[in-house]
Amino acid sequence: MLSNTLLEFTAAAVWEMAARFSVSLQGIWPETLKLNLNNTMNYELDHQDIRDGVKQLCTDFPGEYWRKCDREQTYPQEFVQALTDSGYLGALIPEEYGGSGLSLSAGAAILETIHHEGCNAAACHAQMYTMGTVLRHGSDAQKEKYLPGIASGNLRLQAFGVTEPTSGTDTTALRTTAVRRGNDFIINGQKIWTSRAEYSDLMLLLCRTMPRDQVQKRTDGLSVLLVDMGQCPKGSLTIRPIRTMMNHATTEVFFDDMPVPQESLIGEEGKGFRYILSGMNAERILIASECIGDAKWFIEKASAYASERSIFGRPIGQNQGVQFPIAKAYAQMRSAELMLREAIRLYEAGENPGEEANMAKMLAADASWAAGEACLQTHGGFGFAEEYDIERKYREARLYQVAPISTNLILSYLAEHVLGMPRSY
């Protein structure tokens, strides 16, 4: 096995010889494998300028900032504001509505970098993908009314109300109803895990406008409303925070005869499930990017510590029992990242990357979890100390095995829709 120093020496020597004899290394090593000996992960990535900018922004939000938010379970307001002011949060909003009009790959680069730098985008990531539902299916009037405010940060679209306590993963079994009365829809029901509802002006709400026993397909009869929560009469909307194992600002939300103007309907009544589904590929891709960032953070921390920490008179990273789990997590992360790139490529080509986006999310969540395990184990007892940030990141990374979609449901999707096996539920 090559030691780090020998590997670096070998790589440096190859590059030096290539430069001296004007030999192009293209074809010897893939284009993306340009070595930068200062980095542990030395391959080229897209949107380097955006990554550099986000990295710079994140330096204002070090571990201590996140530890404090985590300890006190407070919303990282300053971080979200900085992301908004810099334009990164509105990156995907078209320029005509005041955003930067960037591609999904740029959004992925932004979220990955935030997580790679030890920060957490969960406080605001939903805005990037929920906004897509308004953009694709909202009316011109709705887009003009809301998107410029979202881009400038005057309005926040952070709340996404789909999951309910009794229906869970079985979305079409949801019970929250919207019934037309005069110029309004009257909403009754309950959502759970509606993250960031307390810090959002708007909520994208999925509810039943036609009872399930009166529709041909169970996916019919669901509608999406863009609810301006500030306009809801007192007492009709109750938001209760749920304390969780990580700082996620998640809540349960109760609707009690809550009137919402009919102009809040997105697209056609009864077709809401399709509208929500149409945003799922972007959601999977963006969450996978965060997991890749988490995995990189864990892997860098683990490999640095393994090289520095000396026990029994030598670095612990000299033991294969310590280095192999980190190396394996790296391999997992790289393969997940390749799948993610493929999902993004298809998405940006206008195709439907349902298979690739789901696989990318699952593989990236698995890679970040494997990396978290390796990182915690490598740090021994110190991994459990708050000031190392590892236990916090570990708790945060665990979520992505369950939300926004659980691993089992991705496997069911692959089994049924890709491999043609019978539907299991």
Ligand X SMILES: Cc1cc2nc3c(=O)[nH]c(=O)nc-3n(C[C@H](O)[C@H](O)[C@H](O)COP(=O)(O)OP(=O)(O)OC[C@H]3O[C@@H](n4cnc5c(N)ncnc54)[C@H](O)[C@@H]3O)c2cc1C
Close Cβ partners of 381 (under 8 Å, ≥ 6 residues apart): none
Query: Please, what is the minimum distance in Å from the beta carbon of residue 192 to ligand X?
Result: 7
208, β-bridge pairs: 177, 222
Measured in whole angstroms, the distance separating CA 65 from the mean position of its chain's CA atoms is 20
Q: Which two tokens stand for residue 153?
A: 């940060």
Q: Which stretch binds ligand X (CB under 6 A): 112-120, 219-227, 321-329, 406-414?
A: 406-414
CB 340 within 8 A of CB 306: no
Identity of the residue, 4 or 406, whose beta carbon is nearer to ligand X in the bound complex: 406
Q: Where are the alpha helices (DSSP H) in 219-353?
A: 272-278, 280-308, 320-348
Report the SS3 class of residue 374: helix
Query: Please, what is the minimum distance in Å from the beta carbon of residue 30 to ligand X?
Result: 37
Give the one residue of 406, 413, 415, 416 binding ligand X; rule: CB under 6 A.
406
Query: Please, what is the minimum distance in Å from the beta carbon of residue 402 to ligand X?
Result: 5
Q: Does 425 bind ligand X (CB under 6 A)?
A: yes
260, β-bridge pairs: 185
Q: Does 162 bind ligand X (CB under 6 A)?
A: yes
Identity of the residue, 243 or 314, whose beta carbon is nearer to ligand X in the bound complex: 243
Identity of the residue, 32 or 424, whose beta carbon is nearer to ligand X in the bound complex: 424
- Build a one-symbol-per-residue string for 375-404: x at contacts with ligand X by CB under 6 A, - elsewhere: ------------------------x--xxx
Query: Please, what is the minimum distance in Å from the beta carbon of residue 165 to ligand X?
Result: 8
Q: Which of 5, 141, 124, 12 is nearest to 57 (CA)?
A: 124
- Build a one-symbol-per-residue string for 185-214: x at contacts with ligand X by CB under 6 A, - elsewhere: --------xxx-------------------
Identity of the residue, 65 or 199, whose beta carbon is nearer to ligand X in the bound complex: 199
Q: Does 326 bind ligand X (CB under 6 A)?
A: no
Q: Which two tokens stand for residue 68?
A: 């404090």
Q: Which two tokens stand for residue 199?
A: 């810090």
- Whole-angstrom distance, CA of residue 271 vs CA of residue 164: 19
Identity of the residue, 266 or 299, whose beta carbon is nearer to ligand X in the bound complex: 266
Q: Does 125 bind ligand X (CB under 6 A)?
A: no
Q: Does 172 bind ligand X (CB under 6 A)?
A: no
Query: Please, what is the minimum distance in Å from the beta carbon of residue 89 to ligand X?
Result: 17
30: left (phi over 0), alpha (psi -120 to 50) or beta: beta
Strands 177-181 and 237-241: unpaired
Binding to ligand X (CB under 6 A): which residues in 214-253?
A: 244, 248, 250
Identity of the residue, 105 or 163, whose beta carbon is nearer to ligand X in the bound complex: 163
- Whole-angstrom distance, CA of residue 49 vs CA of residue 34: 17
Q: Would you state the torsion angle of the CA atoms of residues 304, 306, 310, 316, taken in this order, to the nearest 10 degrees? A: -160
Identity of the residue, 121 or 399, whose beta carbon is nearer to ligand X in the bound complex: 399
Identity of the residue, 47 or 191, whose beta carbon is nearer to ligand X in the bound complex: 191
Query: Please, what is the minimum distance in Å from the beta carbon of residue 164 to ligand X?
Result: 8
Q: Does 133 bind ligand X (CB under 6 A)?
A: no
- Whole-angstrom distance, CA of residue 266 vs CA of residue 131: 12
The amino acid present at 110, given as its one-letter code, is I
Close Cβ partners of 12 (under 8 Å, ≥ 6 residues apart): 35, 37
- Whole-angstrom distance, CA of residue 250 vs CA of residue 118: 20
Give the one residue of 412, 413, 415, 416 binding ligand X; rule: CB under 6 A.
412
- Whole-angstrom distance, CA of residue 331 vs CA of residue 322: 15
Q: Which stretch binds ligand X (CB under 6 A): 17-25, 80-88, 161-169, 214-222?
A: 161-169
Q: Would you state the torsion angle of the CA atoms of residues 104, 108, 111, 114, taken in this order, to the nearest 10 degrees? A: -130
CB 236 within 8 A of CB 259: yes
Query: Please, what is the minimum distance in Å from the beta carbon of residue 153 to ligand X?
Result: 20
| CB closest to ligand X, residue no | 168
Q: How many residues bind ligand X (CB under 6 A)?
A: 23
Identity of the residue, 163 or 264, whose beta carbon is nearer to ligand X in the bound complex: 163
Give the one residue of 82, 215, 327, 409 binding ligand X; rule: CB under 6 A.
409
Identity of the residue, 82 or 415, whose beta carbon is nearer to ligand X in the bound complex: 415
Identity of the residue, 207 or 360, whose beta carbon is nearer to ligand X in the bound complex: 207
Radius of gyration of the CA atoms of the chain, in A: 23
Please name the helix (run of DSSP H) or strand (run of DSSP E) that holds residue 158, with its range, or none. strand 157-161
User: Which residues of this chain interact with ligand X, rule CB under 6 A?
Assistant: 160-163, 168-169, 193-195, 244, 248, 250, 399, 402-406, 408-409, 412, 424-425
